[in-house]
Chain A
Amino acid sequence: MKRGLGGAVIVVVLLFATLFPVLWTLLSSFKTLKDIVTPVPTLLFQPTWQNYADVLATPSVQHGLTNSAIVVGCSLGVGMLLGVPAAYALVRHAPQLKSDVLFYVLSLRFMPPVAIAIPFIVIYTDLGINDTRFSLILTYCLTTISTIIWLGVPAFEQVPREIEEAASLEGYTEFEVFRKVALPVAIPSLIGAILFTFVIVWNELLIALSLTSQNFTLPVVAASFTTMGMEVPWGIINASTILLALPPFLFIGVIMRFLNRFFRAAH
């Protein structure tokens, strides 16, 4: 019990240290520029909502949010639909291909985006779909499918082979074994994979910056707040950081609840 208490103290201290930047951001988002740019940090100040008002008044925030939600939602959806069964099939039905496919999938992310951005622009312009959500979704599917396959394989490897075999003996089709037996067991780990994929696509900047002018995503908006034009609006940067982190935070909160409910049900 004693050790537990000491450990808890350590955890709290660690948490404070790790979350301090976020808290400091939150605090700064309510400050005026004068209170932010000081030699001695101010803890007592007249709070202001102005920074938030400024961010929310920017039309590109809403636009970017819609685009991000659609683009990330679709590419993640396609990624799951195609990636999860593929990962399972690699583990159970085509283990001889597993190693090669996995490495191929990993290698898709070796090339720096700078080099492929220009060919993508040329190809999409020829097809008449440059600067559309569709072309961005297509491009991101490359990331989502490959990452979900990559992370899905270990998730399915954890599933005990015996229960699948038992199900087959009972006459389940291959598809049913996958959907009714393997998938439920692998889901907790799969959710980690999906979370990870989500984070990567949600934060992707360079491709979005290069491929879009009208259908830009939230990271591009964040970049427009944070990169420098003239005056660096530190207050607005802090407020936009908090605001732009909220939607994925809520999304993840929902997923975590689901995850926990699942764990409780399982044990």
Chain B
Amino acid sequence: MNAANPRAEPFGKLWSHVGFARLALGPPLALLVLMSLPPTIGALLLAFRNVSLMSPGSRWVGFANFARMLTDRRLHNALRISLVWEVVTVAGAVAVAVLLGVLIFETVKGRARDVICLALILPILLPRVSAGLIWRFMYSPLMGIMKYPLQLVGVPPVEYLSQPGTALYAVAVVDIWQWGLFFAVIMLKLLETLPASPLEAARLDYASTWGVHWFVSLPMLRPALITMLFVKAVESLRSFDLIYTMTNGGPGIATETLDLYAYQTGIGMSGRISYAAAMSVLLLILSTLAFSVLWKRSQRWSE
């Protein structure tokens, strides 16, 4: 075909000559390694020194930063909070996405669907800090809109963000609001890509619409859903901006995740960048372990 087509792209020729796979994989992987290795090594070096932004000079301290972690109550708390945050936001966002995606798929057609999709994407586009602050204001027991319906029926305002028991979930609602709705649109688009015939057949077998989706379309979308789950899980590790604007880790340390604690230690008030780096290394190791286990599982699953 190439010979018959004189306008075969020279670029295409080069690609097939060197080997498409090498050219397509080489540069991006090289760039990724080149860009990620130096800062990672830099962070590792920091973790074994006692660098502080507040004073010049530093020295090698071996494992002192890591030893300190063993007795750091705030760190242990941060690990726990991070775990809860991961589970709640990942499960919440994916659940909202599946429910809402299927619901819209079944009930809205045509232009209305496009409009709804655009509307659902809106929350994720708000700058995270702005979104956090707007919700904080809505939650405010003095001035917020959320207390108003309660007030009408005579219930005293709820201190969503200043009670240790509710604060983390109140922030998680905002995260799920942003990501869950966005994922719902992706879910909808995924459902649209499914071939129509198996669904039609299934509709005859299962009584309820939800049954059709639970037993037929969701299993078909399993690889895509797993990808979505992983993406959200990695994204949830970055809880910083939302929590920072809404509670700053409070009340007390009830919403202080590991990346927030690392920020407060390293760049926020105390400037102990080495300890922050050590915490980050810990997070890197823990995430690698946890995700590699999940990854192996999911690989087996999708097959």
Whether chain A touches chain B in the assembled complex (some CB pair under 8 Å): yes
Query: Which chain A residue has the least Cβ–Cβ distance from B263?
Result: A114
Asked if B13 contacts A173 (CB within 8 A), the reply is yes
Report how many A-B pairs have Cβ atoms within 8 Å: 293
B16: chain A residues within 8 A (beta carbon)? 173-175
Query: Which chain B residue has the least Cβ–Cβ distance from A83?
Result: B28
Mostly helix, strand, loop or mixed at chain B's interface? Answer: helix
User: Is the CB of A216 closer than 8 A to any CB of chain B?
Assistant: no
A188: chain B residues within 8 A (beta carbon)? 189, 193
Asked if A256 contacts B15 (CB within 8 A), the reply is no
Asked if B245 contacts A110 (CB within 8 A), the reply is no
B70: chain A residues within 8 A (beta carbon)? none
Residues facing B in A83-112 (CB within 8 A) are 83, 85-86, 88-90, 93-94, 97, 99, 101, 103-112
User: Is the CB of A50 closer than 8 A to any CB of chain B?
Assistant: no
Residues facing A in B26-40 (CB within 8 A) are 27-29, 31-32, 35-36, 38-40
B284: chain A residues within 8 A (beta carbon)? 107, 110-111
Asked if A103 contacts B262 (CB within 8 A), the reply is no
A138: chain B residues within 8 A (beta carbon)? 35
User: Is the CB of B25 closer than 8 A to any CB of chain A?
Assistant: yes
Asked if A145 contacts B125 (CB within 8 A), the reply is no
A3 to B20, CA, bound (A): 52
Q: Which of the candidate stretches B86-94, B197-205, B231-239 sits at the interface with the other chain?
A: B231-239
A176: chain B residues within 8 A (beta carbon)? 12
User: Is the CB of B100 closer than 8 A to any CB of chain A?
Assistant: yes
Q: Smallest CB–CB gap between B276 and chain A, Å?
A: 5
Residues facing B in A186-217 (CB within 8 A) are 188-189, 192, 196, 199-200, 202-203, 205-206, 210
User: Is the CB of B1 closer than 8 A to any CB of chain A?
Assistant: yes
Q: Smallest CB–CB gap between A61 and chain B, Å?
A: 12
User: Is the CB of A56 closer than 8 A to any CB of chain B?
Assistant: no
- Interface 1/0s, chain B 228-255, versus A by CB < 8 A? 0011001101101100010000000000
B137: chain A residues within 8 A (beta carbon)? 234
Asked if B12 contacts A226 (CB within 8 A), the reply is no
Q: Which of the candidate stretches B138-146, B158-166, B211-219 sits at the interface with the other chain?
A: B138-146
**Given contacts A82-B27, A118-B273, A219-B129, is CB(A175)–CB(B108) below 8 Å?**
no
User: Is the CB of B181 closer than 8 A to any CB of chain A?
Assistant: yes
Asked if B25 contacts A86 (CB within 8 A), the reply is yes
Of the candidates B8, B28, B263, B299, the one having the most CB atoms from chain A within 10 angstroms of its own CB is B28
Listed by A's residue number, 29 A-B pairs whose Cβ atoms lie within 8 Å are A11-B107, A14-B103, A24-B145, A41-B148, A85-B24, A93-B24, A106-B291, A106-B295, A110-B291, A111-B40, A112-B279, A114-B262, A119-B43, A138-B35, A154-B227, A171-B1, A171-B4, A173-B20, A174-B15, A188-B189, A189-B193, A219-B129, A225-B130, A226-B132, A237-B133, A256-B114, A256-B117, A256-B121, A263-B192
> Chain A residues in contact with chain B, CB under 8 A?
4, 7-8, 10-11, 14-15, 18-19, 21-22, 24-25, 36-41, 82-83, 85-86, 88-90, 93-94, 97, 99, 101, 103-120, 122-123, 138-139, 141-142, 145-147, 149-151, 154, 157-158, 170-176, 178-179, 188-189, 192, 196, 199-200, 202-203, 205-206, 210, 218-219, 222-223, 225-227, 234, 237-238, 240-241, 244-245, 248-249, 252-253, 256, 259-260, 263
